[in-house]
């Protein structure tokens, strides 16, 4: 069944599956593999140390796929705040047509991108933030339920409520993000009103994901109970794979008298977390994972994964349609 949704039509993709931005994971290899498989691959801007490195990564991706791909720009507290405007300028100069934005106060970046005619998908964890993003002129919302990996927001609303609320209230098309790993999930998201799904953790566990094999095997072993929330005390709640480092952070978070962010900074630092993906030691630093980690049982190529999702979604939707027909 060819998928024909607002997302596939506007983005020029075959299957309504987006590979969301992932710090230290969203490199050319993964983005190109997802785009070649018929979904939308996305490079993560801040994974590149400078805007010029992002330019090179975009050019490298172009040599690996002829299909559309996007760039993620996330605006969240950072130990070394980046020059977001400069990253956005590179995206525009390189002729990128699709950007996923996320985080706080995205107004100036979205305005700049929209002025250049870029299609913007904005990720948000509440309907209130979605409404603000609509005022900024975004083309799609990426509705991020509490199940999701990384920055879950502070409202803790899971996708069963959030997606239906989006369908009931938003005048702009949306995709479903957080908790998706298979075609049954895609079928459910479409039924709830979404135009497609976004997946992060599932794509980390593919052949092409540029992370250590041992971390992929750790994802296969993990259960849905193996994530932990940290940084609520600093209004930057983040879901991570639970390990010794996240346990230490939670202890400081509970017990610290000062509440200084500096106390946990060495533990949650992205520089340290990044090494997990190169040294393969899941306990070395913090790394992001969604509750969907409990639904991931293999390490397929992106092509095999996307084809399987397409087939499962089709089978799910057609078998439910058959059930819905009255018996004569
Ligand atoms: P980092 O080393 O700068 O910071 C580590 C963590 O601490 C991040 O989660 C960050 O948001 C948080 N943090 C830093 N300063 C803070 C403060 N003063 N108060 C509250 N929280 C604070 O982060 P990094 O891993 O090098 O990532 C760089 C940037 O990319 C961060 O803004 C991060 O949030 C963001 N990010 C993007 C994605 C994505 O998918 N695009 C995923 C994860 C993180």
DSSP letter assigned to residue 22: -
Dihedral (Cα; 139, 46, 303, 293), 10-degree rounding:
-100
pLDDT digits (tens, 9 = 90+) for 267-307: 999 999 999 999 999 999 999 999 999 999 999 999 999 99
Protein residue with least CA distance to atom 5, ligand 1: 269
Pocket of ligand 1 (CB under 6 A): 21-23, 44, 46, 72, 74, 76-79, 150, 231, 234, 236, 238, 261, 268-271, 273, 288
Residue pair 228/238 in contact by the 8 Å Cβ criterion: no
Residue 326: pLDDT band (50, 70, 90) is low
Helical ranges in the chain per DSSP H: 6-11, 28-36, 51-64, 84-93, 107-115, 127-135, 159-169, 183-191, 201-204, 213-221, 244-255, 265-268, 270-279, 302-324
Q: Report pLDDT for 291.
A: 98
Tell me the ipTM for this assembly.
0.91
Domains along the chain? 6-210+298-324 (3.20.20.70), 227-288 (no CATH)
Q: Reduced to 3 states, what is the DSSP secondary structure of residue 185?
A: helix
Q: Reduced to 3 states, what is the DSSP secondary structure of residue 241?
A: strand
Protein residue with least CA distance to atom 14, ligand 1: 78
Q: Report pLDDT for 316.
A: 95
Protein residue with least CA distance to atom 27, ligand 1: 270
Percent of the chain residues past pLDDT 70, beyond the cut:
98
Task: Choose the residue to mutate in 270, 271, 289 for probing ligand 1, maximizing ligand atoms within 8 Å of C-beta.
Answer: 270
């Amino acid at each position: 069944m060819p998928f024909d949704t607002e997302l596939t039509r506007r983005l020029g993709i075959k299957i309504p599956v987006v590979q969301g931005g992932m710090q230290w994971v969203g490199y050319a290899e993964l983005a190109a593999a997802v785009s070649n498989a018929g979904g939308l691959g996305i490079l993560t801007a801040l994974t590149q140390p400078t805007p010029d490195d992002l330019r090179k990564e975009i050019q490298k991706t172009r040599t690996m796929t002829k299909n559309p791909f996007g760039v993620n720009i996330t605006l969240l507290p950072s130990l070394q705040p980046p020059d977001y405007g400069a990253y956005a300028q590179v995206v525009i100069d390189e002729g990128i047509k699709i950007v996923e934005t996320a985080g706080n106060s995205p107004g100036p970046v979205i305005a700049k991108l929209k002025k250049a005619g870029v299609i913007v998908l904005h990720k948000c964890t509440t309907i209130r933030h979605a409404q603000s993003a609509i005022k900024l002129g975004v083309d799609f919302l990426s509705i991020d339920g509490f199940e999701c990996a990384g920055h879950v927001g502070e409202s803790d609303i899971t996708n069963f409520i959030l997606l239906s609320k989006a369908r009931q209230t938003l005048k702009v098309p949306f995709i479903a993000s957080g908790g998706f790993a298979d075609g049954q999930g895609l079928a459910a998201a479409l039924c709830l009103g979404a135009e497609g799904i976004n997946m992060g953790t599932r794509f980390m566990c593919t052949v092409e994901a540029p992370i250590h094999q041992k971390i992929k095997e750790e994802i296969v072993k993990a259960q849905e109970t193996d994530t932990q929330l940290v940084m609520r005390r600093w209004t930057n709640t983040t879901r991570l794979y639970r390990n010794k480092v996240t346990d230490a952070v939670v202890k400081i978070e509970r017990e610290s008298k000062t509440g200084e962010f500096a106390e946990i900074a060495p533990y949650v630092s992205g520089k340290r977390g990044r090494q997990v993906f190169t040294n393969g030691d899941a306990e070395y630093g913090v790394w992001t994972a969604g509750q969907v980690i409990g639904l991931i049982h293999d390490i397929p190529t992106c092509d095999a994964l996307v084809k399987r999702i397409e087939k499962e979604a089709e089978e799910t939707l057609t078998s439910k349609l058959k059930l819905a027909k009255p018996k004569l």
